[in-house]
Structure 1
Amino acid sequence: MKVYLITIGDEILIGQIVDTNSAWMGQQLNLNGAHITGIMTVSDEAESIVQALEQGLRFADVILMTGGLGPTKDDVTKKVLAEFTGGRLSFHEPTYRRIERFFKQLGRQPTEAHRLQSYMPDNATLLTNPMGTAPGMWFEVDGKVIVSMPGVPYEMKALMQKEVLPRLKAQYPLERIAHRTLLTAGEGESRIAERIADLEDALPPHIKLAYLPNLGRVRLRLSSRGSQSDQYQDELEQWANRFKERVEDLLFGEEEDRLEAVVGQMLKARGLWLSTAESCTGGYLSHLITSIPGSSAYFLGGIVAYSNIVKQEKLGVRTATLETDGAVSEATVREMVAGTLQHFGGDIAVAVSGIAGPGGGTPEKPVGTIWLAVGDHNMTEAYLLKAGKDREKNIEYTGAHALNFIRRFLKKHYPASLANG
C-alpha cells in the first residue's frame, strides 16, 4: 500500500507550528507495512489543496490529509473535497447533535459556525472523532482512498488508531516490515560505510541498510520488507548480529537507547561516581548526564570552569600551564581532570576545554579546536576533537564525544566482568 501525506495550514508554511502529524503518521504507517511515497504541506487555499490531491493520487493508493476541518471561514477542506470527489455538502443532523452534546457537557451552546461545520460531503463515510467535534471523512475515488482528519494532533491520532488504520488493514494487503537499529558513536558515516561495505553488498534484496547520522553518532537501520513468515525476522536478526560484530568497538546500544543512559548504566553497574569539569560546553555535558532519571546514583556534580581564574582557583590548573600551553590544550584538560577528582572525591572525571566559536580562534587553534580528557586516580587519557564553526553544533558534538569517551574509558579499564552487581 502506497500512502501520500498532505498537511494543510498556513501556520505550518510560515513556521508558526511544526508539522508533527506527518512524522507520527509516517512512523505508524511504516510499522504497519505501508510505503510513504511523499509528504506535502499546502496553504489554506482551494487551488493548493486540489493540486496536492492530484499529485497524491498519481503516486499513491491512499491519501491521508490533516487540517482545515474547523468551523472558521479559512477551513475550506470539506468544500474542496466534496467538489473534487463529485459530491456536495449537505447538513448532517447526527454530526450537529453530537456537537450539541459536546458543548452541553461544557455548559455552553454551539455557535452558528458549528452549525455550518455540520455540513458534510454526502459521498463521504464519516469517521467518529472521539476527541473533538470534527469527524474524519473517508472517500473512495476510482479505487483509491482519500481520508481527511482534523489537524489537532490528539484528534488525528485517535482517528488513526480507532478508525483509519483498521479500515486500511482490512482493505489493502500490507507487507510485513521489521527493523533493527544499531547505535554507534566515535566514527563518521563514511568511515563506518568503508568498514561494513562488504556486508552491505552481501545483503539480500529484501533487507536494506540506512545510515542515519547525528552529531557524534550514527544509527544503522536494517529493514526487512515483504515477508509474511517469521523466517525473514530470523534472517534480519542474523544480519544485525554480523553488523554488530563488525562495529563492536563503536556500538553503544540498539533501537531507542540513549548514550547518556548507557554511560549511566555502566557507571552504576561498576559502582563508580562521575564528576565533570566543563569550559566550552558550559554545563551541557552535566545536563545530558542528569537528564536521565536516577543519575544521582552515579553523578556527583560538575564545575563550569569557563574562565581561567576558575580553572586555577577551583580545579588547581597551574598558571604556568595556562601561560605555556593555553586554556585549550591537552595539559590543561589533564589538570582539570585531576582537580575535579580532588574537589569531588569521586572515581571518574571528564574535562572539556575548547573554542566553540564563532569567534576566538587563531591560526594555531581555530574555532572547533576542543580538547577532552577522562581519567581516574591512576590514569588520564586525552584527545583532540576537531569540530566545525557553528557554536551550538560544536557544543552538542562535544557532549556526544565526551560521553562516548567515558564509555570507551570504562570499557577499556573497568571491564564488565569486574562490574559490581
Structure 2
Amino acid sequence: MEGQRRHAGGSPDAGRPPVPDGGIDYHAVFRALPGAVALLTRDLRYADVNDSFTVTTGRSRRYLLGRYVFDVFPEDLDDPRATGARSLRASLERVLATGQRDSMSLQRYDLRDPERPGQWEERYWSPVNSPVLSPDGRVELIVHRVDEVTELVRSRLSDTAGERAAERAAELYARASELQELNDHLRRAHAREREIALGLQQAMLPPLRQKGDREVAVRYRPASTALNVCGDWYELVDLPGDRLAVAVGDVVGHGLPAAGVMGQLRSALSAASRVAAGPGDALEILGLYAREVEGAECTTAVEVFIDWERRTLTYSSAGHLPPVLLHADGRAEFLDAATDPPLGARPEHAARPQAGCSFLPGSTLVLYTDGLVERRGESIDVGLGRLADCLSGHRPEGSTAESLADVLLTKLVPDGAADDDTALVVIRL
C-alpha cells in the first residue's frame, strides 16, 4: 500500500504497477472512497489512509503513516466518559485473535487539537473493523472504517435547545455505552463457555495408548472462532488379539451441549466396540443409543477395525467423511464403500453396512473430522483432493505418524483459519 512504498523512500505512487487496459485502479478507488478508511498493520500502525480519513480526523497522510494508532489518537484520561480509545483497542485485538469482522456501537472519542495542547472537541463515531486475510488464513491487515456521526447526533437534537439538548446527547451516549458493555459481557461469557467446553472435551477424550510398538498419533485442534467449539471426538479401543478399533465422530451443535453429547457417544461406542462382531455392528448399537440422547441426532461417526495379524481393515461409516489408507507406494485410497446415514437420521432401524480391504506393511491409516478438509464456499471434493495430495506428497524416509500428523495440520489447517474443530488420528500399519 501507499504507506509501505513511502517508507521505502519513494514517492506515493513509485513502484505502482500499471493498470491494465480495461482494469480497475483499486488504489484510486481506495483514495476516493467517501467513507473514512484506514489500513492498519498487525502491530496497529497506519499502513495507508484514504482522503476521507485525513479530512475527517484532521491529520495528514504524512503525519499518520507508520505511526501507532494510539499514539496518534490517545485516550483522554481526564474524562472517564471518553472510552472510545479503550473500546477500539479491544475491538482491534478481537479481530486479530479471531479473524472475524467486529462492528462497534456508537463511540464517543474527543479529538485533541494538535496545535492547541489540552484542547479537545467532542465527537461521536461508528467504527467497523474487518480483517484482510492471507492465503493461509492469517490476519495481515485490518480495514478500519469509521463514520463520524457527530452532526447526526446533533441534528437529532436540533428541536431541543440548551440544557435539554445536552441531556439528550448524554442519554444517547450513555445508552450506546451500555450496549457496548453488554456486548463485551456477552463476549466474555461466550469466551468462558468456550474455555469450559474445551476443558470438558479434553478431559473426556482418551489419552494416547500405544498398542505394543505400533505408531499412533492423535491431534485435536479447536476452532479458531470464539463461539464455534464443537463436539469432535476420537476413540481407540484395544481388541482381543493383535487388533485395534479406531473411530472419530462429529456431534452437531456447539459449546457445552455438544461437548456433553460427545462424551456420552464416545463412551457408548467404546463399550459397543468391545463386544461387537465388527464396526458395522458397533455403529448400529451406537445409532440405537443415540436415539435416546438429546442432541445426538445426525451425529456422524466412522470406525475401523485394524487386524495386524491378517493385515486387514474393516470399516463402517455413519455419514462421516471416509478414512484414507495411504499405501506404501504413496497412493491415497479413500475407504468409502460402507457409508450409511448419520446416527438417528433413519426413521426405521436397519443394520449398518461394513466393508474391508487389505494393507501392506508401511501403509498409513488416517481418520479425521471435517475441520481438516472443509472450507466455507468450497466443494468438499476440493478439500478431499487437497488431503490426498498432501498425503501422497509426504513420504520422506523415516517419517513417523507424529510427523505426518503435524504436516497435515500445518498444511491443511493453518493457525487462525479453522472455522470448525479438527480431530485427527494417524496410525502406521
TM over 0.5: no
TM-score normalised by length of structure 1: 0.27
Richer in helix (by share): 1
